[in-house]
Structure 1
Amino acid sequence: MPIKEADKSYDHDKIEKKVQKFWKQEETFKKVNELREKGPRYSFLDGPPYCSGKIHLGTAWNKVIKDSYLRYKSMNGFSLRRQAGWDMHGLPIENKVEHLMDIQSKQEIEEIGIDKFVDKCREFALENKVAMEQQFDQLGVWMDWDDPYMTLDPKYMESSWWTLKRANEQNLLVNDQRVISWCPHCGTALAAAEIEYEEKVDPSIYIKFPVTGEKDTYFLVWTTTPWTLPANLAICANPEFDYVYVSKDGETYILAE
C-alpha cells in the first residue's frame, strides 16, 4: 500500500470532517464502549450547560476538557458511563424568552398566561438542546446524547426534592442569613456569575439637613448615592475633623473645614 504524501499545510476543517466521518462509519464510539465493558466502572455525570442559546467558547472548552479526560480514562481500561446533561429551566431561559416575546415585566407573563409562557420556555430550551448537541458532536465530544438527564423532566425534579428531603432529615441543611445581590426585575437572588458590570456616570448631589432647634442652619452633605436618601436615618461626623459654620444668603451651613 503506497504511502500518501502529507498535505503541505494543516487544514483543520478538512481533517476534522474526515475523522468524524470515519468514527461514524466505523461506529468507533460504540466499539470502544464494547471493548471496555468488562473493565472497572467509571461514572461521569455531566455538569449541564444552560440551553439558553448556542454554545460559546466557555461551554466548548468545558466539554473538550471533560472529553479529553474521559478518553484518558477509557484508554486506561475503564468502562465509562458518559451521561450528558442539560439545564433547561430557570432565569436564563426565562430572560431569553422574555426578550423574544418583548415582555417588559413579570406581570405581563400573568396577562399572557403562565402556561403559555412555560410552553414557550420549554420549546426554546429543547430547540437549543438539539442545536448544542450538534455543535458538541462537531467538536468530537463523545457522550451519551441519546439518554441525557434534563432538569425540566419531572423525574429529575422529584429526585432533587427527594435528595433535599433526605438532607433535611439528616440535619444537613442550615437556615442562615446572607447578604446577596438582588434582581428587581426577576425578584430573585443573583449568583455572582449573573451580575453584569458596565461603566456609568452616576449623579452626585449636595443636600441640606436642617439642624433641630437652630433656625436656618443646616448640615451640608455630599452623596454619590442619592437614591438612598429616602431611607436615611442619620448623618455622621468625624471626631478627627474640624467643622465650620459658613453663612450664605441668610442660611448657615455646617461642613468640614
Structure 2
Amino acid sequence: MLKEAGQYDAKSLEQKIHKLWDEIDAYSRVREQRVDGKKFFFVDGPPYTTGRIHLGTAWNKIIKDSILRYKSMNGFHVLDRAGWDMHGLPIEVKVEGVLGFKSKKDIEKYGVGNFVAKCKEFALSHRDEMTLQFQNLGVWLNWKDPYMTLRDEYIEAAWWTLKKAHEKNLLERGLRVVNWCPRCETAIADSEVEYSDVSDPSVYIKFPVANEENTFIVIWTTTPWTIPANIAVAVHPSFEYVKVRAARNEKEEILIMAKELLKNVLKQGRYQKSEILETILGEDLKIEYKAPLGHKVPKQNTFPHNVYMADFVTAENTGCVHIAPGHGIDDFELGMKYKLPIFCPVGPDGKYTAEAGEYKGMHVREANKVVLDDLSEKDLLLASGKILHRYGHCWRCKTPIIYLATEQWFLKVTDLKEKMLEEIKKVKWYPDWA
C-alpha cells in the first residue's frame, strides 16, 4: 500500500540522524567492525583554524567523507585522524587584526611569548567551533584525537625531517630573490601569490651613456622604486638596435632602443622629428652608462653600469631592460651570470635602507612618485603614464608583494629530482594527468 509522503524537513531529519548516531555511537562501532579489514590510511589535508568553515572547506570535507564511507562500506579499516593547521601567518594575521596591530614592531612591543600564547588560544578556540560545524555536516573522522600542527609531536617531526636533510647535505642557505610581503615581512611561495588588477606607473626612462654627450639608453618599467637599485641594462643579442637623433620642443638628443619599437617610443615621448644614425646588433652594444640616480644614491656611483646580453629580453616597450639584481628573478640570475653586485637597498619592511641614500626610510611603493620627480628634474623621464595590469599580492593580508634578495634556507630538490620522478611512477593519481 502506497503512503503519501509528508513534507520533507531537512533540519528535523538531520537532527534525528545525529541523535541516533550519538545514541548508538555509530562512528566507533563501524570502525570496530572493520578493524580486521585491509587498512586504508587517510591523511587529512588540514584546514587553518582561522574562523568558521566556508563553502570551500565544506566541499573539501564532504568529498573526503564520501570516499572514506565508500572504503568503509567495502570492508576497509579506515584510519581517519582529523587534522588542523594551527601555525603560521594565517593565524598570526588574524590575531594581529584582533589586537589591532599594524606591523611586526607591534608584536615586539606586545612580547613574542605573549603573542604566541594568544595565537594558540585563537587557534584552539576556532578548532572547537569548526569541529562542531564539520560534525553537523555529517563528516565522520576521528575528531577526539586530531593531529594539530602546534603540538610537539608535529613540530618535532618537521625538525626531524630537516635534520635528515641536513645529514644528507640537502639543506643549504643562500641568497635568492623571492616573493616578499613587506607587511608580513616574510617570503611567499609562488603558489601563495594571488593576482589581481592594479594601476601602476608605466614609464620610459633615459639612462645617460658614459662618454657620449646627450646620448641615452631608453628603458621601460612599472616599478620606478627599483631604479635606485639599478645595476645594468639587458638587451637581446640578436635584436637590431638603433641610435636615433630625435627632437622635441626644439631640443635634440640621441636615443638607443630596439629598431622594431622605435615608432612607438618616439610617439610616447612626443618627438616631432627623428633620424636613424646607426643600426647595431644587440651583441655589439658595448655600452657603459651613468647611474640615473647617482646624485640621490651615492653608493650607485661605486658600481660600474654596463649593457649585457640576455635571451629573456622581448621585443616589447624599448627592447632594453632595466636590471636590478636585488629586485627581480631574471635580474638576479643575470647578475649571478655576470658577477654583478646584488644591490638590494630595501629592508624586510619594504622601506629603503641607508644604502638607498636620500630615499632612506621611504616605503618603496610610496616612493614611486618621488623617484619619478627626481628623474624628471634631471630630464631623464622620457614619458610617464599608467597601466592596469595583473600584479601579485600576499594571499594572507592582500598586500602587494615586492621582489627582494634575501638569505633563505633551501632544500636542494634538484639532487633528488630523478629519484622523485621514479617514486611518482609508483603512485596512482586521480585523475591520471595529475
- 1:234 and 1:180 mapped to 2: Cα distance? 20
- 2:21 and 2:4 mapped to 1: Cα distance? 23
- 1:213 and 1:165 mapped to 2: Cα distance? 55
- 1:213 and 1:163 mapped to 2: Cα distance? 57
Offset of 1:151 from its aligned partner? 1.0
Q: Deviations over 1:206-250 (max 9, x none)?
A: 333223234444444443321221122233566524441123454
- Aligned partner of residue 201 in structure 2, secondary structure: coil
For 1:147, the aligned partner's letter is D
Larger CA deviation: 190-199 vs 120-129: 190-199
Q: Conserved in 2, the CA contact under 8 Å of 1:220 and 1:253?
A: no
What is the aligned-residue RMSD (CA, Å)?
2.6
Q: Deviations over 1:181-228 (max 9, x none)?
A: 222222322134432222111112233322323444444444332122
- 1:120 and 1:192 mapped to 2: Cα distance? 29
TM-score (norm 1): 0.86
Is 1:6 the counterpart of 2:5? The answer is yes
1:99 is matched with 97
Mark the CA change 1:122 to 1:230 in structure 2 (over 3 Å): closer, same or farther. Answer: same
Identity of aligned residues (%): 51
- 2:169 and 2:135 mapped to 1: Cα distance? 39
- Aligned partner of residue 45 in structure 1, secondary structure: coil
Offset of 1:126 from its aligned partner? 0.6
Larger CA deviation: 192-201 vs 150-159: 192-201
Q: How does 1:171-190 map to 2 (within 5 A)?
A: 171=168, 173=170, 175=172, 180-190=178-188
- 1:15 and 1:87 mapped to 2: Cα distance? 32
Q: Conserved in 1, the CA contact under 8 Å of 2:46 and 2:85?
A: yes
TM-score (norm 2): 0.53
Q: Conserved in 2, the CA contact under 8 Å of 1:89 and 1:152?
A: yes
- Aligned partner of residue 254 in structure 1, secondary structure: strand
* Selected match of 1:155 from 132, 153, 156: 153
2:225 is matched with 227
- 2:29 and 2:231 mapped to 1: Cα distance? 72
1:254 is matched with 255
Offset of 1:174 from its aligned partner? 5.2
- Aligned partner of residue 197 in structure 2, secondary structure: coil
1:244 is matched with 244
* Selected match of 2:140 from 123, 139, 142: 142
Q: Conserved in 2, the CA contact under 8 Å of 1:216 and 1:250?
A: no
Structure 2 residues without counterparts, runs of 5 or longer: 257-261, 264-434
1:63 is matched with 61
Larger relative CO (CA 8 A, sep 6+): 1 or 2? 2
Larger CA deviation: 40-49 vs 57-66: 40-49
Q: Conserved in 1, the CA contact under 8 Å of 2:245 and 2:252?
A: no
Offset of 1:123 from its aligned partner? 0.9
- How many residue pairs match? The answer is 254
Structure 1 residues without counterparts, runs of 5 or longer: none
- Aligned partner of residue 52 in structure 1, secondary structure: coil
Mark the CA change 1:180 to 1:16 in structure 2 (over 3 Å): closer, same or farther. Answer: farther
